[in-house]
Every structure is written in structure tokens, then in C-alpha cells.
Amino acid sequence: MERVSLYSIMSDSIKNIYSIISESDNISRLEISRKTSLSLMTVGKVVDSLLELGVIRQIKEKRTTAGRKAGLVSANNEYYSVVLDISTKEFVMTVVDVSLCLVDTLTYTYNRNYYYDENFYLFLKNVASYLSRQNDTDKLIGIGITVPGTYVASEDRVVGAKIPELSSIPILETAKRILKRDVNLVIRNVEAAAIAGIKKMPELMNSIVIYMFVGDTVDGALLWHGKIQSGAHGFACDFGNMSFHFGDILENRVSGCTSFDDLIQILACAIYNIIIVIDPKAIMLECEIPYDPGVVIASVKNTMQHHYKLPEMRIPEFIFSPSAFRRSNTGVTFLMRNAWLDSLIK
């Protein structure tokens, strides 16, 4: 695909315009201009260039009144990314289009008769086989991998993961060799999920925001001014290892819960401490637990107010938005989509 020249327009403006288009079924240049606060001339130049590249499409606007009919544009959702989630021992490949919608999934069932690296190899072989059967890999914008720890690019390994075997595997080299394709991104799963969440809430972009995942593991990430704050060694917000009663850790307490009330008491205690130490503006909560997340949030807030005597003004906004797949997949696709757009523009 040839590149186009938009040297006079800021990269962030181009990405913002494309993001608005990808989130709309069909949208006019005028509406894009309104939503982005960019001039109609700037929007027109970017839209025309993206049309030339074939990454967006245009249809004629249907109007009953007289006058020139403007074109409505939408993303070309033939373009897609592939995300490999190895943050647990149930490996999952997710195909996500450029509008951040689920296209397909492939799940690998971990075989305990094999070593971890053998299971990883077999999963990658399955992914390679899947890709070889596709006739549209020219529309593949990137392959990303989410991991359950900090990825050290200079050493090509994951450190501090809750799956110790990962630390001895050169993730990028192994994936490239077996897939016989470039791998564009390796990122800690909760950081990718946090990026996906903040993208939907521009009003919180200048605030301190916490992302927290509660499911088969417990983990989190910290955002400030829309950027991940990883800490001195890359382990900021490793909530699962938060020290709890009698030397136990939060993740063990959550996994050992036998009732709803027990879970609420544990989460309320943990989130109370997070609020006291960090004082976030909002907490984005992603749950994979057998309870309604809205009820969980309401119960946690009630417990913090009445048991821990936390003033209502200190309680941050809690945000939960259901998704067909993990937010980390959306975050990876969003990051690779931005890199892909950069590669198309001179």
C-alpha cells in the first residue's frame, strides 16, 4: 500500500479523525469536524487521503431536500488485527477489526501432559494454521501479544509474571519463528485494557484513573494524563499481590471466596486501601465473576461508606462497561491501529 502525504497535519489529528470514523456507521465530513473541533478543510484533506488509501469507504448521503449530496464515510472493516492472549494458561487468539469489534476467536486448551513452552508452541502452530487458511492477510494490520507481567524488550522475556515459565521463553522470537510473520507488539494485558478504557472516556484524560481486573487473576494499572504509569520496575498496581489478612494476598482471597458477601468484604477492603493511597478520580472495573458487576460496585461502595466510614466525596467514579471480549484485546488493536496509520502517512 502506497503512503500519502499529510505532512502539514498533526498525527494526533489524523488518528482522531479516523477514530471518529471507525466508531460511526456512516458519518459526514461536517459531523467529523464538529466532533473533533478541526476545520472542515483539514477534515476534508484527511478523509480524501484515507479514501485514496482504501482504509475508509464512502457512500452518497440520502437527502430529501435540494442541494449537493455530501458523501458519508465509514471504516473499511476488512482490515483487522490478531491478538494472542497468553495472560492465563487458556491461550486465546482474537481477531478484531479496525472498528474494534470482535470478528473471530480461537481457543487453545492447555494440555497438562506437556511443558508450558510446548503448549505455547502448539498454540502458535494453531494460529499459524488459522492464518494460512485466510485469503485476506493483506488486510492484517498487525499481530499483538498480551502477557501477564512486564515485558522487557531488550531481553525478549516477561518478568514478574504469575506464570513463572514465561520468564524463560523469548516471546517475540518464538512467535515470529513459528508464525513466520512480524509481531508488532507485546504488552502487559492490564496496561492494554487500561488504554482501551481511557480511550472511551476523554473527559478523564487529565485525571488519575485506576484500572482493576477481577477474575481468574487480580491485577491493575494506573493512568495519569492518559499514560500508563508503570512504576520504577514495571510492577505498579499489581493488586493481586496486595498483602491481606494473616499474610495472605488479595488474589488468593478472591479465588477462595465462597459467597457474595465474602467477596464484597474483600474487594471493599482492597479498594478502600487503593483509594486512601492513590486517590483516583475513577476506577475502571472489569470483572469475570459470577455476579452482576453493577451490584458488586454498589455493594462495595456501600461497605466503604458504612464500614470504613469513607466520606462520599472520597469515593471515585466507578466505571464498568460490558464487552464481548477482554478489553486488553481492544487496547492492543487500538495501539496497533495507530502505528498502522502512522505507517501510511508521510
- Cell 471504516 belongs to 75
Quote the pLDDT of residue 65. Answer: 53
- The pLDDT of residue 324 is 64
What's the pLDDT band for 63 if we cut at 50, 70, 90? low
One domain for residues 42 and 91: no
Residue indicated by cell numbers 494476598: 249
Q: Within this chain, do residues 334 and 294 fall inside the same structural domain, yes or no?
A: no
Question: Domain range holding 97?
Answer: 80-191+326-344
Q: Is residue 3 part of a domain?
A: no
Cell of 189: 494485558
pLDDT in tens, 190-212: 999 999 989 888 899 999 999 99
* Host H or E run for residue 124: helix 116-132
Do 240 and 225 belong together in one domain? yes
Asked if 184 and 240 sit in the same domain, the reply is no
Tell which wins on pLDDT, 8 or 97. Answer: 97
Q: What's the CATH number where 230 sits?
A: 3.30.420.40
For residue 234, name the pLDDT band (cuts at 50, 70, 90): confident
Q: Average pLDDT of 91-101?
A: 96
Q: Are residues 219 and 256 in the same domain?
A: yes
Residue 323 has pLDDT above 70, yes or no: no
8 Å CB contact between 336 and 144: yes
Q: H or E stretch including 210?
A: strand 208-214
| pLDDT tens for each residue of 267-319 | 999 999 999 999 999 999 998 888 988 999 999 999 999 999 999 999 999 99
pLDDT tens profile 5-59:
676 678 888 999 999 999 988 999 999 999 999 999 999 999 999 999 999 999 8
pLDDT digits (tens, 9 = 90+) for 169-189: 999 999 999 999 999 999 999
Residues 271 and 337 in one domain: no
Same domain, yes or no: 48 and 145: no
d(CA 229, CA 261): 33
The terminus-to-terminus CA distance of the chain in angstroms comes to: 13
User: In this predicted structure, what is the pLDDT of residue 320?
Assistant: 86
- Judged by average pLDDT, the poorest of 127-136, 169-178, 316-325 is 316-325
309 bridge partner residues: none
Mean pLDDT of all residues in 133-141: 93
Residues 209 and 310 placed together within one structural domain of the fold: yes
Strand runs labelled E in 215-289: 218-224, 227-228, 282-287
Domain match, 28 and 66 both: yes
Query: Within a domain: residue 4?
Result: no
Strand partners, 185: 144
pLDDT tens, residue by residue, 213-229: 998 889 999 999 999 99
Residues 6+ apart with CB under 8 A from 251: 162, 217, 218, 239, 240, 241
| Integer Cα distance of 102 and 121 in angstroms | 25
Q: What CATH number did the domain enclosing 70 receive?
A: 1.10.10.10
Q: How far apart are CA 160 and CA 162, in angstroms?
A: 7
Where residue 41 falls (left for φ over 0; alpha for ψ -120 to 50; beta otherwise) is alpha
Same domain? For 271 and 295 the reply is yes
Looking at residue 288, its pLDDT comes to 87
The grid cell for 111 is 494440555
Cα dihedral 263, 269, 275, 276 in deg (nearest 10)? 180
Q: What is residue 345's predicted lDDT score, i.e. its pLDDT?
A: 82
Q: Say if 57 falls within a structural domain.
A: yes
- Answer yes or no: are the C-beta atoms of 146 and 188 closer than 8 Å: yes
